[in-house]
């Protein structure tokens, strides 16, 4: 069974915040390729977070 350490539960929020800051700087500096790369990373990270934990069915073996 997958176990997620409680201290890691806020990690996706921190990663998202960091990526937004990096994107803002890249836009300010005119680094268009970097902006595109950061957006791809954000989409991939969001997809992983949206997959979430599997739901428990309540069935036992």
Using CA atoms, how far apart are residues 61 and 38, in angstroms rounded to an integer? 44
Mean pLDDT of 34-61: 76
pLDDT tier at 12, thresholds 50, 70, 90: confident
Sign of CA dihedral 48, 53, 57, 60: positive
5 pLDDT tier (thresholds 50, 70, 90): confident
Q: Is the dihedral of CA 6, 9, 10, 12 positive or negative?
A: positive
pLDDT of residue 55: 57
Q: pTM of the full predicted structure?
A: 0.67
């Amino acid at each position: 069974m997958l176990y997620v350490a409680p201290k890691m539960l806020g990690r996706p929020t921190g990663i998202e915040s960091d990526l937004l800051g990096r994107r803002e700087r890249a836009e300010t500096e005119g680094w268009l390729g970097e902006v595109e790369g950061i957006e791809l990373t954000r989409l991939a990270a969001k997809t992983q977070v949206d997959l979430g934990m599997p739901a428990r069915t309540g069935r036992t073996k």
